[in-house]
Amino acid sequence: MSHSKMNAQILQIYNCAVNAVKGMNVIRNRISIVENNLFVSDFNESSYVYDLKNTRVYVIGAGKAVFGLCQAFLSVVDDYNKKSHNSRNIIKIESGILSVPFGLKLEESNFLNKYNIQVEFAAKNNLPDENSVKATSSIIQLLEKIKCEAKTGAHSLIISFISGGGSALLSLPKQNISIQEKREFISQLAKSGCDINELNKVRRCLSLVKGGKLAKIALKNSENVQMLNLIASDVIGDSMSAIASGPTFIDFSENPSSDALQVICKYKVNVPDKIKHLIESEQKMDEQMPSLRNVLLVNNSIAVREAQKTASSLGYKVVDMGTNIIGEASQVGKIWAEIAKSEELKNYSQVAWVGGGETTVTISCNSSGVGGRCQEMALSFFNEMLENKNVSFLAAGTDGQDGPTPVAGCVVSGIVNNWKPEAQKALLEHNSYSFWKKYFPASLVNTNGPTGVNVMDIYCMLKIK
């Protein structure tokens, strides 16, 4: 088999994985409407029912995947409305606001206008910005409006879509700290090797909406308001408190201030006095909110399972690498290379190793390189493989954005490494994107912008005799 064919196959595996977690595929499997009742099933097949009759329905959302999820939900509503013979059974969406990433290509649809959904673009380069603050403020204004209506006796249901990327898209810093100051401090932590769960522990202490505070704004002292949060996980273990920094999840067992300070101490990061004061003053939330429900719709395992299914259909013996792949990207790349070099194909002519997860990159203070965790993992793999034309390796984010770069990741295929000094230099400088763009631009996985999904990364390695 030619390496060009292997390259095409490994990209097919990745694309099928991404498509499996697209909004339409997820929502159609999890949500239905029958006789004005909204039925929702979670990842564990538990079911919930909401009576929409005489209920004012609102939609909010923040994250890389929420537009696709919301579009799919509106299509379910629209299908139901078209089949309703009684105008009293028509489901009306009062209004809604979504905060989505810059660069996201919106699919053509009349659903947004038809159902009064406003879309705000924010978080350019995957970082919180003034547009994030504007979008978040608009969402809060809508929630306050709903609470005012509830005091008059109106019953409301807030349907909230939350996904990875929500930390940047749903951002409203506490008083006395600017969005730029918060962004710079969080960036400093990330460069120190802090993983996503640790970052979110700190983010929650600096925010007016993270760590369950958005739910508190919506529901406190509002007996006539319910909040249903439909969530796509982009974190290892699917912790609701970590996804988008948990804006709708209240963890009664945690000590947020202590947890954040432990993270800062672990990575020996200098903390400005006013940021330290905000963290130390963060209080544990103890509000009981019986009308709050968080439902996990989709995670990395669904994408990985589809990738494995596709690899099997292409004739590969599949080795399941799991969905908890973590660690320093360059070290994980070496491990994949060791597997490629050491595993002999005895009983099978072609084998596919498939898994998922999310690695980290620890950046030194003087590094100015451009790259992402997937491209760095692929570069480390490339650096270890002097020559092996029978192996292809892919590391790519399902969201289409690997770090502050315009690509999802990289494919290393048909390896003949004549650039070892350049590769080693790029690894040391964390300059993987520049390396691939200069020497092997065709290796970059380009999804032409955000994919509209976000369930961490896909890793796949193909080997043939």
pLDDT tens digits for the chain (465 residues)?
Answer: 777 899 999 999 999 999 999 999 999 999 999 999 999 998 888 999 999 999 999 999 999 999 999 999 999 999 999 998 787 889 999 999 999 998 888 776 678 889 999 999 999 878 899 999 999 999 999 999 999 999 899 999 999 999 999 999 999 999 889 999 999 999 899 888 888 788 888 999 999 999 999 999 999 988 899 999 999 999 999 999 999 999 999 877 678 899 999 999 999 988 999 999 999 999 888 778 999 999 999 999 999 999 999 999 999 999 999 999 999 999 999 999 999 998 887 788 999 999 999 999 988 766 779 999 999 999 999 999 877 778 999 999 999 999 989 999 999 987 667 888 999 999 999 999 999 999 999 999 999 988 999 999 999 999 998
- Cα separation, 413 vs 406, whole angstroms: 20
Query: Residue with structure tokens 């330290």?
Result: 276
d(C-alpha 449, C-alpha 293), whole Å: 32
In CATH, what class is 23-298?
alpha beta
Please, which residues bridge with residue 58 across strands?
Answer: 95, 158
Whether domain 3-14+301-464 has CATH 3.40.1480.10: the reply is: yes
How many angstroms separate the CA atoms of 258 and 202, rounded? 10
Strand order across the 93-101 sheet? 117-122, 93-101, 56-62, 156-163, 225-232, 292-298
How many Å from the N-terminal Cα to the C-terminal Cα in the chain?
9
User: Which one-letter amino acid corresponds to residue 286?
Assistant: D
Q: Residue 367: what pLDDT?
A: 74
Task: Parse the chain into domains and list their residue ranges.
Answer: 3-14+301-464, 23-298
Q: Which residues contact 89 (CB under 8 A, 6 or more apart)?
A: 35, 36, 53
Nearest to 224 by CA among 40, 41, 58, 90: 58
d(CA 267, CA 16): 38
Alpha-carbon torsion angle 322, 164, 60, 275, nearest 10: 140
Query: What share of residues in the chain are helix, strand, coil (percent, to 5)?
Result: 40, 25, 35
Spatial distance between the Cα atoms of 314 and 328, rounded to a whole number of angstroms: 31
pLDDT of residue 346: 78
Looking at 238-339, which runs of residues are DSSP E strands?
292-298, 317-320
Name residues whose C-beta falls within 8 Å of residue 259's C-beta, 6 or more positions apart in sequence.
201
Say how far apart CA 389 and CA 211 lie, in whole Å.
Answer: 48
In sequence order, which residues have a C-beta less than 8 Å from that of residue 92 and are 6 or more positions away?
57
Task: Count each helix (H run) and each strand (E run) in the chain, helices first.
Answer: 16, 15
pTM summary value? 0.92
Instruction: Report angle CA 191, 197, 199 to the nearest 5 degrees.
Output: 40
CA distance 340 to 385: 9
Query: Which tokens hold the place of 285?
Result: 């939330």
Residue 208 confidence (pLDDT): 96
Contacts of 179 (CB under 8 A, 6+ apart): 128, 129, 130, 132, 133, 171, 173
